[in-house]
Chains A and B, each alone.
Chain A
Amino acid sequence: MRHLLTLWLLLVVTGPALSADKPTARELAFFEKKIRPLLVQHCYKCHSRQAKTVEAGLLLDSRQGWMTGGENGAVIAAGSPGESLLIQAVNYEGLEMPPKEKLSPQQIADLTRWVRQGAPDPRTGDSISPIRRTIDIDQGRTFWAFHPALAAPLPPVENPAWPLDAIDHFILAGIEAAGLAPVGDADRRTLVRRLYFDLVGLPPTQQQVDDFVHDKSSRAVETLVDELLESPHFGERWGRHWLDVARYAESTGMERNFTFPHAWRYRDYVIDAFNRDLPYNRFITEQVAGDLLPAKTAADRNRLTVATGFLAMGPKSLNEPNPKVFQMDVVDDQVDISTRAVLALTVSCARCHDHKFDPFPTEDYYAIAGIFRSTRTLFGTGKGQGNRRATGLVSLASSAPKEATPSPAADQKTAQITKLTEQLRKARRELRKLQGPPKGKKKGKKKSNKKANKKAPSKTAATPQQLKQLRNRVRRLNRKLKQARGGGQGNTKPTGPVAMGVQDGAPEDCRVHIRGNVKTLGKRVPRGFPQVVHLDSVPGVNGSQSGRLEFAAWLTSAENPLTARVMANRVWYHLTGRGLVTTLDNFGAMGQRPSHPELLDHLALDFIENNWSVKSLIRKIVLSRTYRLASTPYPANRTKDPDNTRFWRMNHRRLDAEAIRDAILAVSGQLETAPPKRSVVADIGDANVGRAGGTLTKLNAPSRYRSVYLPIVRNAVPEMLRLFDFAEPSMLVGRRDVTTVPAQALFLLNSPFMLAQADRLAARVVAAAADEAGRVEMAYRMTLNREPTDGESTAAIALVTAHLTSLPGQNTDGDRQQAWSGLCQALLACAEFRYLQ
């Protein structure tokens, strides 16, 4: 009822302004002859009360219908065809209506004429669109994911002797409630292998296995876990999990694939952050707003700069001719990555319309979009070859001290740059104020012209002299800044080290882009955060900045109901093979509900309490009894809970691509465990990947480094990683596919890489023992961390012998080596090698 009243008021208030006079007979005749038939024929199918579904909530079968408008607001500005969405749509400017075929020029002219007349329309009828949907934010808050995490008491269990810790309590209660029983614990050999791969992504050596198996101390597991958490390889393993989510790549991808030669700095930043156990809330803050955080040293400043590479890493369509479209695509990537990676919410669905399932109106999207629109994204890329959108990069302090002792010179320089940047920003802002709207707008539509004229005399009373002075100042500052950054005059390319990242631009709220289109702008939305998660403790956007700092505070607030849950769930998934919420990247209505809500909350609260320490979280999980279970199934359980949703056993998991490759190199003795200085892509420099034939050869050159350091170029991911389900680097991937395809088998059986590694391993095996049985034992222990059974040993020796006899030369050293290589390859190719029991 109140709704009706509002509308009625609207009608009364705006009515007279729309058509002061009653329509003349001539106007009505024109409507009946030209307009009504046109609307009936071309529009009513989707925009009338007879329509099966009323598209966009818009009715065109009554005057009130188009006055109220649909999701996009009123569609006719009576008297002003230029400002009427309807006229834009039939002209296919932005919207395209009718969608199937454009109206004829005559029809469009008629409609335009009608609107110019003031849209005289005799049709009466209900004005309230039957499906105009509004999102009820309060209703939205009732969804589980938006509830604050709650500490639940430990549930009672029938077998209190079983749990080692709180996690086990929650898990066992679930197991018992389902009428299941947990399987036995994994044996030591299985556990040590599991821990090595899960924590550092590498297999244990024979010695490491033996040490653990024979360690009788009651704290043997703790000791090993702590040792692994302190290993520099920990960050290489867990950093890579984050790089999957961060869609890390060293090229733009898309239709023109330009390299990002500096992306590797972000990769190294992430690895380092996990190794240092940077608190997760700080980790997110640095990536979203590192440039706005204070830094004590130049090294610190650099690290924070590099962190923001997170926002610059998305795929880019470099040939986009429209800079506005390009900007909004970059912004969209940033809205999407920040909300989905951290919150597992698909806010970016609301770019073109209100979210269909979750409580995010379009305004929420543009509230965040405004933050990123007030941000400059610097991703570099080489100019030319159809690259219309190259940008600069962020300069790093070149003499970043290796130790904690900052060099005074570098510090001074950084300080100078910061000062100059600030001065320049100020001067520019002033200039903008005095100049009024930029020149380009004056050429544009009448609308802005009018506005400009109205505003101009009242506000900006700058004398030409003032303007000139200011312009000179901007120019001077620009020059100084360039010099300070180390670039010579006229040389825009910085010579020192650079990184991808973001900086604040001119702060400005963003207007709703109706249907996501840059040409159809709706109302301006103040920068802010999705309303459904309203946090009193987080300050609103600082108007003089982009707002990323406050956005980061909102994202990482302990009160944000999603952040800790989402990360705890990611960690749980990587250690068990199944998330408590199985849709890791979607905690919304279309995602799955948690299988263990109390456990998820327990982990999330614990995570926050432990200062967001990822290492502590991991430690807690791997020390639980749940984690230490065997993976062999109980037939009875399997029938009742085939998916193992209750975690009554450990899941049988295939290693991911990196772990398989690293393990092969490790056992063949070829793995280079030290990280490379940078990346192959940095050596290649700026290039268009598709065009530079040699580039691809360089990318595919054999490498002995750990897989996390291989060049990750979009559309050119290294073969072995691609074959074993590496994360598609253009997408946010919380959970990788696990496929089993013949192409993998062919790689393991025939590829030059496998043959070469098998040879190396064979050399080690042959050297390690003199007799055949001894060699077979060595081969098994090195690859599978166990001894062969008698049957296996016999079969293995038979394989080697048969191979040897099939060779024409017989029994030369080379032949023998080759025969053993055949066995070694078989062991590297068998399922046991690449599955975690």
Chain B
Amino acid sequence: MFPELVPGSPSRRELLKAVSCGFGYAALAGLATEAAAADARNGNPLSPRPPHFAARARRVIFLCMRGGPSHVDTFDHKPQLMADDGQPVSGKKGRKLMGSPWKFSPRGESGLEISELFPEVARHVDDLCVLNGMYADVPTHPECFVQLHTGSFQFVRPSMGAWVLYGLGTENANLPGFITLNPPSRVGGAQNYGSAFLPAVYQGTRIGQLGRPLKQATVGNLDNPRLSPASQRRQLDFVQSLNRELLQQRPSDGQLEGVIESYELAFRMQAELPQVLDTAGESQSTLETYGVGVKATDDFGRQCLLARRLAEAGGRFIELSHANWDQHGGLRKRLPANCAAVDRPIAALLADLKQRDMLKDTLVVWGGEFGRTPHVKKQDGRDHNATGFTFWMAGGGVKGGIAHGATDPHGIEAVAGKVHFHDLHATMLHLLGIDHQRLTYRYGGRDFRLTDVRGQVVHDILT
């Protein structure tokens, strides 16, 4: 999309990168919203830019279930699996089919079947677009997790959030446009929200770390332990006077203008970001709806609530994480616990977005790196299955109350309406108004894209 970046050229170097405080002239003028003119992009790599075509969604909230949630126990009802419970599987020595221990029932007007593990999310069934034909390449966590996030486990590539930010910019200059809450440090770690060869301004901002409660998470360097805001402002004014002096000696030096603006922005960000992250102002009933304060749901409830607040404040790509869905054993006990931890918060998020009329342009995506085998070796555990599993989407221009694609009668392999991660990425970008084949970045003499040479938009699910 951009020609190869050339250093020293104001149109690229000074403007695109050096002023890449991400906020540029708009911030200087005190404008922090998408009011920034369309051509502001010239001066600022993060200012909003028009999509390729009319967008259905303006932002994405990705609910990432690390470990690979079992599809046949949640959103992919397989009566035949129940019927053949205990039967051997051809070609899988020593393994037997295991029917889901949980009941499925038709929900809502659409009558889509959802298991009893997701009673609250099931209330929103008519907003869900369930993708039952998902598949990926290899049934191992790190590879699939990284591929889900970057499209490739073979090479280091930018994450989907970075691509989205690169394509669309951010709507609120005072906030990071791509935020990831509690991401895992393993299975690729920072690569999952990294920018790889894209300019670093597009990388995700991490808040918290998987395995530690979000409640204790802080964003680094957001406050000064010594100076009151007034004292710091005085100090900053002094810094800025030095910077302006330098600018006077070299008028219209884009880099220096960028530095000056980045300080103003930082000063505003340290005031605004904590406000967005601080849920103290939310009513008790809201907190309760999200499950905040209840042990089981507190952490993911906070994540969902924050996601809504960040979305409202103009965040572009917001990712939440929950683990661990890797139930090789203890399925009957641990899977319900997992579902209970996220069910209520997710339902609250969907309801909240809807109530604020934001669901229509917010694409909510739920899923993990793969699904689980319908056949088992141990009595009470399912193993990795990348040949068929389930994601669901809601809002942001996807049809509600439909199931797209299917696995075979036992739920082992996707057989119809197959959707690979590349297709998921292509569809997600499409909903955001981006043609995945045109969103490219030149690196090492080649134009790269999120979907590499693959990706088909799943047109059947678009409204």
* Bound form: Cα–Cα A760–B420 in Å: 56
Does residue A187 face the partner (Cβ distance < 8 Å to B)? no
Interface SS of chain A: loop
| Contact A741–B221 (Cβ < 8 Å) | no
Closest to A803 in B: B231
Is B250 a contact of A715 with CB atoms below 8 Å? no
Indicate which residue in B20, B141, B250 contacts A633 across the interface (CB closer than 8 Å): B250
Write the nearest CB–CB distance from A596 to chain B, whole angstroms.
Answer: 13
Q: Closest residue to A740 on the B side, CB-wise?
A: B258
Indicate whether A319 reaches chain B with its CB closer than 8 angstroms: yes
- Is A465 part of the binding interface, using a Cβ–Cβ cutoff of 8 Å? no
Q: In the complex, which residues 187-229 of chain B have their Cβ closer than 8 Å to any Cβ of chain A?
A: 187-191, 194, 196-197, 199-201, 205, 220-228
Among B85-93, B97-105, B440-448, the stretch in contact with A: B440-448
Question: B263 on the interface (CB 8 Å rule)?
Answer: yes
Q: Which of B107-115, B235-243, B313-321, B359-367 contacts A (4 or more CB under 8 A)?
A: B235-243
Give the complex CA separation of A835 and B197 in angstroms: 24
Of the residues A254, A386, A643, A652, contact of B253 by C-beta under 8 Å: A652
Bound: A288/B417 CA distance, A: 49
A336 (CB) vs chain B CBs: closest residue: B444
Interface flag for B37 (CB, 8 Å): no
A585 proximal to B (CB < 8 A): yes
What is the CB-to-nearest-CB distance from A339 to chain B, in angstroms, rounded to a whole number?
Answer: 11
| Chain A: minimal CB distance from B277 (Å) | 14
**Nearest Cβ distance between residue B258 and chain A, in whole angstroms?**
4
Scoring A591, A732, A829 by chain B CB atoms within 10 A of each residue's CB, the highest score goes to A829
A750 to B258, CA, bound (A): 19
Contact B194 A715 (CB under 8 A): yes
Contact between A750 and B142, CB atoms less than 8 A apart: no
What separation, in Å, do the CA atoms of A803 and B196 have in the docked complex? 42
Verify A799–B235 contact, CB threshold 8 A.
yes
Q: Which residues of A contact B22 (CB under 8 A)?
A: 741-742
Would you call A730 and B243 a contact (CB within 8 A)?
no
Known: A740-B262, A749-B266. A832 touches B246 (CB 8 A): yes
- How many Å from the CB of A826 to the closest CB on chain B? 5
Does A792 have its Cβ within 8 Å of any Cβ on chain B? yes
Cβ of A369 under 8 Å from chain B: no
Measured CB to CB, the closest approach of chain A to B153, in angstroms, equals 6
* CB-CB nearest in chain B for A255: B142
Binds B, one of A126-134, A493-501, A685-693: A685-693
Residue A728 CB within 8 A of the other chain: yes
Q: In angstroms, how far is the closest chain A Cβ from the Cβ of B434? A: 21
Q: Say whether B418 contacts A101, CB under 8 Å.
A: yes
Chain B residues near A732 (CB, 8 Å)? 444
Nearest CB of A to B274, in Å: 12
Q: How far is the CB of B444 from the nearest CB of chain A, in Å?
A: 5
Inter-subunit contact B445/A346 (CB<8 Å): yes
The smallest beta-carbon distance between A571 and chain B, in angstroms, is 15
A582 at the interface (CB under 8 A from B): yes
Partner of B185, one of A317, A590, A690, A747: A690
B236 touches A749 (CB 8 A): yes
Question: Which of A590, A740, A750, A751 lies in contact with B20, CB distance below 8 A?
Answer: A740
Q: Determine, out of B2-10, B52-60, B294-302, B333-341, the stretch whose residues face the partner at the interface.
A: B2-10
Cross-chain contact of B140 among A253, A319, A742, A747 (Cβ < 8 A)? A319
A257 within 8 Å of B by Cβ? yes
Q: Is the CB of A831 within 8 A of B242?
A: yes
Contact of B262 among A579, A738, A742 (CB under 8 A): A742
* Neighbour of A346 across the interface among B223, B444, B454, CB < 8 A: B444
| Nearest neighbor of A638 in chain B, beta-carbon distance | B252
Q: A99 contacts which chain B residues (CB < 8 A)?
A: 454
Which B residues are in CB contact (< 8 Å) with A830?
239, 242-243, 246
Residue pair A740, B221 in contact (C-beta under 8 Å): no
Q: B143 at the A/B interface (Cβ < 8 Å)?
A: yes
- B230→A738 contact, CB < 8 A: no
Q: Chain A 55-71 against B: per-residue CB contact (8 Å), 1 yes, 0 no?
A: 00000000000000000
Please provide the chain B residues from 257 to 277 with a CB less than 8 Å away from any CB of chain A in the complex: 258-260, 262-263, 265-267, 269-270
Of residues 322 to 374 in A, which have CB atoms within 8 Å of B's CB atoms? 329, 340, 346, 349, 357-358
Interface size on B, residues (CB 8 A): 85
Q: B324 near A: Cβ within 8 Å?
A: no
Contacting residues, chain A, for B252 (C-beta < 8 A): 638
Contact of B145 with A by CB under 8 A: yes
The contact string, 1 if C-beta is below 8 Å from chain B, for chain A 793-837, is 001100100110010000000000010001101110111100100
Is A375 part of the binding interface, using a Cβ–Cβ cutoff of 8 Å? no
CB nearest to A747 among chain B residues: B221
Q: Do residues B243 and A831 form an inter-chain contact, with CB atoms below 8 A?
A: yes
Tell me whether A588 and B445 are in contact (CB under 8 A). yes
Interface check A315, CB cutoff 8 A: yes
CB distance from A326 to the nearest CB of B (A): 10
The complex places the Cα of A691 from the Cα of B209 at a distance, in Å, of: 12
State whether A831 and B221 are in contact (beta carbons under 8 Å apart), knowing that A317-B154, A746-B270 are contacts in the complex: no
Contact of B189 among A100, A689, A731, A799 (CB under 8 A): A689
A825 to B236, CA, bound (A): 10
In the complex, which of the residues A691, A722, A730, A831 has the most CB atoms of chain B within 10 Å of its own CB atom?
A: A831
In the bound complex, how far is the Cα of B391 from the Cα of A529, in angstroms? 47
Residues in chain B near residue A651, CB distance under 8 A:
8
Nearest-Cβ distance from residue A218 to partner chain B, whole angstroms: 29
With an 8 A cutoff between CB atoms, is B456 at the interface?
Answer: yes
0 or 1 for each of A683-704: is its CB under 8 Å from B? (1 = yes): 0000011110100100000000
The CA-CA distance from A818 to B454 in the complex, in Å, is 58
**B31-64 to A contact mask, C-beta < 8 Å, 1/0:** 0000000000000000000000000000000000
Give chain B nearest CB distance to A377 CB in angstroms.
17
Give the docked Cα–Cα distance between A722 and B187 (Å): 20
Interface pair B221/A100, CB less than 8 Å apart: no
A625 at the interface (CB under 8 A from B): no
A799 touches B250 (CB 8 A): no
Of A688, A693, A822, the most chain B CB neighbours within 10 A belong to A822
Query: Which single residue of chain B is at the shortest CB-CB distance from A579?
Result: B7
Contact A826 B238 (CB under 8 A): yes
Could you mark each residue 254-289 of chain A with 1 if its beta carbon is under 8 Å from any beta carbon of chain B, else 0? 111100000000000000000000000000000000
Residues A745 and B197 in contact, CB atoms below 8 Å apart = no
Expressed in whole angstroms, the Cα–Cα distance for A654 and B235 within the complex equals 22
B153–A317 contact, CB under 8 A? yes
Q: Which residues of B contact A835 (CB under 8 A)?
A: 246, 255-256
Q: Give which listed residue, B220, B242, B262, contacts A792 with CB less than 8 A.
A: B242
In the complex, what residue of chain B is closest to A832 when comparing beta carbons?
B246
B332 within 8 A of A: no
B221 partner, pick from A101, A592, A750, A822, beta carbons under 8 A: A750
Which chain A residues in 622-675 approach chain B with CB under 8 Å? 631-633, 635, 638, 642-645, 651-652, 654
B446–A349 touching, CB < 8 Å = yes
Partner of B227 from the list A573, A632, A822 (CB cut-off 8 Å) is A822
How far, in Å, is A590 (CB) from chain B's closest CB?
Answer: 4
Q: Name the distance in Å between A485's Cβ and chain B's nearest Cβ.
A: 33
* Distance from B426 Cβ to chain A, minimum over Cβ atoms (Å): 12
B438 contacts the other chain (CB 8 A): no
| Residue in B4, B200, B249, B258 whose CB lies within 8 Å of A590 | B4
Q: CB-CB < 8 A to B17: which residues of A?
A: 737-739
Q: How far is the CA of A716 from the CA of B197 in the complex (A)?
A: 16
B1-35 CB contacts (< 8 Å) to partner A: 4, 6-10, 13, 17-23
B156 within 8 A of partner (CB): yes
Q: Closest 6 interchain pairs by CB? A: A690-B186, A255-B142, A745-B266, A742-B266, A740-B258, A578-B8
Residues of B within 8 A of A (CB): 4, 6-10, 13, 17-23, 138, 140-143, 145-146, 153-154, 156, 184-191, 194, 196-197, 199-201, 205, 220-228, 230-232, 234-236, 238-239, 241-243, 245-246, 249-253, 255-256, 258-260, 262-263, 265-267, 269-270, 418, 442, 444-446, 454, 456
A and B contact pairs by CB, cutoff 8 A, 15 listed: A255-B142, A317-B154, A319-B143, A386-B142, A585-B444, A590-B446, A632-B250, A638-B252, A740-B20, A792-B242, A795-B238, A822-B227, A822-B235, A829-B239, A831-B246
